[in-house]
Structure 1
Amino acid sequence: MERLSTWASKNRTPLVIAAAVLVAAYAFNLVRGDIAPSMFGAAWGYAIPLVLAALVGVIGERSGVVNIGIEGQMLLAAFAGFFVAAVSGSMIVGVLAGIGTGLVAGGFLAVTAVRWRMDQIIAGVVLNIIATGLTSFYLVSGQSLPGVIPNVSVPLLSQIPLLGEVFFSGRSVIALIAILAAVLVHLALFHSRWGLRTRAVGEYPSAADTAGIKVERLRMVNVTLAGSLAGLAGVYLSMDASSTFEREMTAGRGFLALAIMIMGAWRPLRAFSMALFFGFVNATASQLQQTGGFSIPPQLTATLPYVATLVVLAVAAGRVRPPGAVGQPYVKKDQ
């Protein structure tokens, strides 16, 4: 009980904001029950790949590695998952191919940025360029998926008014994995030995090395494994949200996820809430275009989440601090 009280006192502001948002959501549902569930559902659907991609950034930067290549990881995974599923006739094989491609892309970044000590920004940009080139060159039209990723409902949780309908009733398996991943990464990062070591190599790698932690190896493992989440985000885009693959279909979501990570102060659950915020911005813009009586060009509507990103980043500038050693390759003194 004392630990819970201490945690609540440390997170008083986020808890108050979360409670206020929850009250506002139920109030809006009470007033506009005809559109509220669909709007919130659309917001969550838009936020799913952002949550997964933001977790990739959190794990990487908490380890001391900037991952600009999330966009490329998602794009490669979306491409591989869709076309492997179409050719093999198996959705399961396609999903595994997408996740595996994300792992390979994460391994590529880990080797170049950690082992070879290439500038981390340049390594990520190279990954993005490779992804755009490969997926555009090998794109084949006319392919279709052999099925759909199943939707599931979580017993008991799906019965919660509004929240259950939005998050736990008839939702994609990937959507549920995104929620579970955010919770598990948070718990692992702040309540496990792995999390303590990861934060140590991201803040004070020399001290971590002195304590016996293999800094380079841990960074490589974390960046590589985080690629599986980027792969899952790509799979969601091409095999769940749209059931097709198009050139550059990630549309900057990888970069938006990095902004979400920063605004979430490199904390998984806060990044989750910021992804929901941007999903709601996108859903609101779409709803205004459909029923608000506004003639808004769809191109302008698509930019609103990015405009909101700039505004929130400007407000948050200077109020959050990145991990101390992020972006810095670690070289042992005896090397």
Structure 2
Amino acid sequence: MPYESTWNAAGSFSAIPIPVLSKIPIIGPILFNQTIIVYLMYLIVTVIQIALFKSKWGLRTRAVGELPIAADSVGIDVNKLRFRNVLIAGAVAGVGGAVFTIGAVGVFSQSMTAGAGFIALACLIFGKWSPKGALIAALFFGFTNSLQSNLSIAGVPIPSEFMLMIPYIATIIAVSGLIGRVRAPAADGIPYLRGTK
């Protein structure tokens, strides 16, 4: 078949350089020579940061996470808002998984994330439960992952098993208190029953 190789080829997004900004030394190729998904990520993180800390929805969301009884006392339906937010987060996570499969790797395989979900959780903690902080943490952990790959390719005389541990060691060090005291939302993971404390 003439198109068999096209149909079975792993597709992925190609980089789109931003004309002037991509020419800046060091920073340009890193930040401004990326795929459309990375540019959308800049926009989405900014929108979520503003929505979470500058809008009525964000204030209510933070209130039901910190002190749901106080939120309930001012008329916020705590369980409805929590359920809605979990649905939104699940949809975003699903889109993220699809983008990772189609856009970054280009093909699905079992165990393709290789523990990256735990690093994503560490990004949340390291970023102190804010979208902006989680983005900075993700860039840090992405750097350690890239460092591990580049050191392996460069032929550094360190066993490959130790190279593969670099991102996870960085995660443990970052989350183990090196960044200062981090406090999760007070009611995180605690179900709310109306009329109870």
TM-score tier, shorter chain, comes to 0.7 to 0.9
* Map of 1:289 onto structure 2: 152
* Map of 1:308 onto structure 2: 170
In structure 2, stretches of 5+ residues that fail to align are 1-6
2:16 and 2:148 map into 1 onto residues whose CA distance is: 28
Counterparts in 2 of 1:285 and 1:147: CA distance versus 1, 3 Å: closer
**Could you tell me whether the CA contact under 8 Å between 1:153 and 1:168 is conserved in 2?**
yes
1:241 is the counterpart of 2:117: no
**Could you tell me whether the CA contact under 8 Å between 1:174 and 1:232 is conserved in 2?**
no
Of 26, 36, 40 in structure 2, the residue corresponding to residue 162 of structure 1 is 26
* Map of 1:56 onto structure 2: none
2:26 and 2:180 map into 1 onto residues whose CA distance is: 36
Classify the secondary structure of the residue corresponding to 2:8: coil
List per-residue Cα deviations over 1:111-164 (Å, max 9, x = no partner): xxxxxxxxxxxxxxxxxxxxxxxxxxxxxxxx8357443543345543544323
List per-residue Cα deviations over 1:16-43 (Å, max 9, x = no partner): xxxxxxxxxxxxxxxxxxxxxxxxxxxx
Residue 318 of structure 1, CA deviation:
6.3
**Could you tell me whether the CA contact under 8 Å between 2:12 and 2:105 is conserved in 1?**
no
- As a proportion of its length, which structure holds more helix? 1
1:146 and 1:315 map into 2 onto residues whose CA distance is: 41
Residue 194 of structure 1, CA deviation:
0.9
**Could you tell me whether the CA contact under 8 Å between 2:64 and 2:78 is conserved in 1?**
yes
Residue 244 of structure 1, CA deviation:
1.1
> Taking structure 2 as the reference length, what is the TM-score of the superposition?
0.85
1:155 and 1:146 map into 2 onto residues whose CA distance is: 28
RMSD over aligned Cα, in angstroms?
Answer: 2.2
Classify the secondary structure of the residue corresponding to 1:251: coil
Amino acid corresponding to residue 162 of structure 1 in structure 2: I
> Taking structure 1 as the reference length, what is the TM-score of the superposition?
0.52
Of 274, 285, 290 in structure 1, the residue corresponding to residue 137 of structure 2 is 274
1:173 and 1:190 map into 2 onto residues whose CA distance is: 26
> Alignment identity in percent?
42
Classify the secondary structure of the residue corresponding to 1:271: helix
**Could you tell me whether the CA contact under 8 Å between 1:186 and 1:267 is conserved in 2?**
yes
1:315 and 1:146 map into 2 onto residues whose CA distance is: 41
2:10 and 2:157 map into 1 onto residues whose CA distance is: 39
After the TM superposition, list the runs of 4 or more consecutive aligned residues in structure 1 that deviate by more than 6 angstroms: none
Count of aligned pairs between the two proteins: 190
Amino acid corresponding to residue 55 of structure 2 in structure 1: S
List per-residue Cα deviations over 1:176-230 (Å, max 9, x = no partner): 2222222211111111111111101101111111111111111111111112321
Amino acid corresponding to residue 304 of structure 1 in structure 2: I
In structure 1, stretches of 5+ residues that fail to align are 1-142
